[in-house]
Amino acid sequence: MISETFSWIVLFALGAMLVNSAGIWLVYKNIEWAHKNKQYFMCFAAGVLISSPLLIAFPEAIEKNPKAGFAALLGFVFMFFSNKLIEYKTGKSSLAFGITALEGIGIHSFIDGIIYTVAFSASVYTGLLAGIGLVAHEFAEGVITFSVMSASGFSKKKAGILAFFVAALTTPAGALLSYPLVSRLGDPLLGLALGFVVGILIYLSASHLLPEAREYEGKHSYWAFLAGVLLGLLMFMIE
């Protein structure tokens, strides 16, 4: 019998793939509209991803393991140096940039899938809070991935195919491949894993989504961010 946890993981992982694919498809059909509005998706996702880990996921991680704070710091530092490594490598030609970006985006999306598994294994509410923010940012990620592939010299069709396989399909792959291991973790190890995820989510929000959204700042970007924060607060209050 399929467990409730596994059902939620599959639902959100496939949802993330569909939203990411929608971002790829829309920019494929209407690149100007996608670029004009992607900052709102990034700001909303940033609001959810900064509020929900601090309000729900991190306290739960500490409850399961008092040393989860070290794991959260490790997750943040890991993402920081991973991002710096990718930035360093992208200082090459456009094709090299595209290949490196594919690697970085693919790893990032695969980790997103693992995050779903860890978060929902902790509790349904934790998974929902993390999942909503992650799904919200998938649209912008699809737009960005297609744009990077196009700028790297790939044809429109090939850019769309590569973006789907690297940015969209890797998320459910990460969730499904990690579930057999994560589902067997005891509370102490799950607390560390959840703490590590918290560090990643906070990094994604504060160091990736918000700065990138500000580069394309729109009139109502801050309202989109606030809406994401308020959603995190709402889920926290009804827990």
pLDDT, tens only, 175-210 = 888 888 877 778 788 788 888 878 877 887 787 667
Q: Looking at the 3D structure of the chain, how many domains does it have?
A: 1
What pLDDT score was predicted for residue 93? 43
pLDDT of 78 > 70? The answer is yes
pLDDT, tens only, 124-168 = 877 887 777 777 667 766 776 776 676 556 777 887 888 888 878
pLDDT of 104 > 60? The answer is no
SS3 string, the chain, reads CCCHHHHHHHHHHHHHHHHHHHHHHHHHHCHHHHHHHHHHHHHHHHHHHHHHHHHHHHHHHHHHCCCHHHHHHHHHHHHHHHHHHHHHHCCCCHHHHHHHHHHHHHHHHHHHHHHHHHHHHHCHHHHHHHHHHHHHHHHHHHHHHHHHHHHCCCCHHHHHHHHHHHHHCHHHHHHHHHHHHHCCCCHHHHHHHHHHHHHHHHHHHHHHHHHHHHHCCCCCHHHHHHHHHHHHHHHHHCC
What pLDDT score was predicted for residue 70? 93
pLDDT of 215 > 50? The answer is yes
Q: Report the percentage of the chain scoring pLDDT > 90.
A: 3
pLDDT of 100 > 70? The answer is no
Q: Give mean pLDDT, residues 225-232.
A: 80
- Enclosing domain of residue 37: 4-237
Of 34 and 49, more confident: 49
Range of lowest pLDDT (19-28, 113-122, 128-137): 128-137
Q: Give mean pLDDT, residues 23-42.
A: 72
